[in-house]
Structures are given as structure tokens and as C-alpha cells.
Amino acid sequence: MSEPELRIVLVDQNVTRASILEEGLREAGCTEVVVVRDMQNLLRRIVDEDPDVIFIDLENPNRDVLEQMFQVSRCVRRPVAMFVDHSDTAMIRAAVEAGVGAYVVDGLRKERVKAILDMAVTRFNAFSELREELDRARQALDERKVIERAKGLLMKHKGLSEETAYGLMRKAAMNEGKRIVEVARALVTALDLLT
């Protein structure tokens, strides 16, 4: 089974540099490449194109341009490969924090495009998995806090043991076909209104 075709948006104001990257992408087997040269409404244009991967090539980026690129990276949540002619530690840190998967300094060669594309996609997928895992852990912790709070309120207002309070919520959840956290949230809301 072959890999699905990637739709790539290439952001570059420089025609010559864009053609080098575009040629490298096409040689790497990417036929759906959209070149964007106009930086006005860049975020809107990228959202409209709905790419799988974003390549951004900036010759000598100033802070404003970089911030716009990082904003794109944070908002669009797609693999991003960024090419710059020179950089510093603060720019690299900002790129990583914005989710740029491949940040290439002074390395614009069409032979490297496939490896850079693969790196950006792989790193994006790894970070996405970590983000999802973190979100699940946070949600589980938040749910646990709600359940503990509801249990504590039942214990206080009804004079129940911890085990009995939990059993009561579990039974209500089963009877109503709900998750225990839903019952706990309703209980917390109701008891907060009554006190």
C-alpha cells in the first residue's frame, strides 16, 4: 500500500528559492504543491488551502515575520518545516515552542527536502501523540478531582463513609446510564446551589 499524497503549501516570496524547494518536493514524490508568495492574510490562505504540511522559506526573517510564521504554526497544527538563512538561540527556541518540526538554518538544497519533509512529519506526529496523552492525563485528573469533591460533599452533607459515598455515585451512574464523573458534576452543582 502506498503512502497517501501529501498536500504541501510552500510559503516563499523569493521565486528562485521557492523553485528549488518546489523541485525538491516534486522529486520527493509530492505533486500537490501550492506556492504562496503573498504574506498578506497568510494564515487565512493556509487555512483555505488546508495542507498536510507547510514549508516556509525565509531569507532574512525579522522578528515580526518570524512571529507571524510561528502564529501560523500554532494555529494551523500541521507539520511545519522552516528554512532560514541565519538564526540565533532565541529564534530556534521560539520555533520549537511554536511547533516547527524542522528548523533548517542555511541548508536550502533540493536533495535534502525529502529528509526534511520526513523529519517534520515524524516530529509533528510524535508531538501530537504526546499532546494527546497529556490532554487525556489532564482530563483524567480533572475528572478525578470532581469525583473526589462530590464524594467529599456527600460525606459531609449525608454523613457517609468514603466507600459508601462512592458506591452511591457509582450506582446512580449505572442507573442513569452515565459516567460517574457526569453524576459527580451534577452533584457538585446541585450541592453548591443548596449551600
Examine the pLDDT at 1 and tell me if it is beyond 60: no
pTM comes to 0.65
> What are the DSSP E strand ranges found in 71-195?
80-84, 102-105
Q: What's the grid cell of residue 134? A: 497529556
- Interhelix angle 63-76/42-49, rounded to 10 degrees, is 30
Tally of CA atoms within 13 A in the half-sphere of 99 that contains its CB: 22
Report pLDDT for 48: 86
Q: Which pLDDT tens digit goes with each residue over 36-87? A: 887 777 778 888 888 988 888 877 666 666 677 777 777 778 888 888 777 7
Q: What's the grid cell of residue 11? A: 510559503
Examine the pLDDT at 167 and tell me if it is beyond 80: yes
Rounded distance between C-alpha atoms, residue 45 and residue 154, angstroms: 53
Rounded distance between C-alpha atoms, residue 90 and residue 101, angstroms: 16
Check residue 169 and report its DSSP letter.
Answer: H
Mean pLDDT of 155-184: 94
Report pLDDT for 178: 96
Domains, the chain, ordered by start: 7-108 (3.40.50.2300), 137-194 (1.10.10.10)
- Written as one letter, the residue type at 147 is I
3-state helix, strand, coil in the chain (%, to 5): 65, 15, 25
Maximum mean pLDDT: which of 71-75, 108-112, 144-148: 144-148
